[in-house]
């Protein structure tokens, strides 16, 4: 029952595990929030509801990281094996931070701002430690 889920990171991550990218929208003034928020900070009036995003967007800022945080090192990334993180602007106008896949990690200079992307979901870990990370993949 999606309607009963609280508008917080726990629900956002649960949706990711179901391969859905969800934002919250104020029923009153229709403002959309990504990451989802429980309080409309525009009208302070309306209740929120969940909306599913199409998952299509473009790259607006990025980096290719050589020295990552511990959880990325555990995933196998290091000073020789880099990964891309970026900010994605979605067709709905919202922006979010995500892992960026399918771009030229070996030649970061060739990665273009404005590259079309579509949502992907990265599953990591097993059993209780299983977690789904938000990612976007280069769209042809």
Considering beta carbons, is residue 46 or 108 the nearer one to another protein?
Answer: 108
What's 47's DSSP letter? P
* Backbone φ, ψ for residue 10 (5° rounding): -60, -45
| Token pair listed for 2 | 């999606």
Taking the complex as a whole, how short is the minimal distance between the CB of residue 48 and another protein, in angstroms? 17
Considering beta carbons, is residue 70 or 129 the nearer one to another protein?
Answer: 70
Taking the complex as a whole, how short is the minimal distance between the CB of residue 99 and another protein, in angstroms? 6
Considering beta carbons, is residue 29 or 104 the nearer one to another protein?
Answer: 104
* Backbone φ, ψ for residue 43 (5° rounding): -110, -15
User: Rounded to whole angstroms, how far apart are CA atoms 65 and 12?
Assistant: 25
Please state, as a whole number, how many other Cβ atoms lie within 10 Å of the Cβ of residue 47: 12
Considering beta carbons, is residue 1 or 89 the nearer one to another protein?
Answer: 89
Residue 13, CA distances (Å) to 19, 29, 40, 127 in order: 10, 25, 20, 16
Taking the complex as a whole, how short is the minimal distance between the CB of residue 44 and another protein, in angstroms? 17
Taking the complex as a whole, how short is the minimal distance between the CB of residue 4 and another protein, in angstroms? 21
Give me the residues that bind another protein (CB under 8 A), please: 9, 35, 60-70, 72-73, 77, 79, 82-83, 85-87, 95-99, 108-109, 111, 113, 133-134
């Amino acid at each position: 029952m999606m309607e009963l889920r609280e508008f917080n990171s726990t629900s956002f991550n649960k949706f990711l595990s179901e391969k859905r990218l969800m934002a919250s929208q104020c029923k009153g003034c229709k403002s959309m929030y990504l990451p989802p928020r429980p309080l409309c900070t525009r009208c302070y009036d309306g209740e929120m509801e969940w909306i599913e995003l199409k998952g299509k967007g473009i790259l607006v800022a990025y980096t290719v990281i050589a020295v990552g945080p511990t959880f990325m090192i555990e995933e196998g990334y290091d000073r020789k094996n880099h990964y891309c993180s970026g900010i994605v602007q979605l067709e709905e106008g919202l922006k979010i931070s995500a892992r960026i896949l399918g771009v030229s990690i070996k030649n970061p200079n060739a990665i273009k701002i404005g590259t079309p992307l579509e949502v992907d979901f990265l599953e990591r870990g097993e059993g209780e430690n299983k977690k789904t990370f938000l990612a976007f993949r280069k769209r042809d």
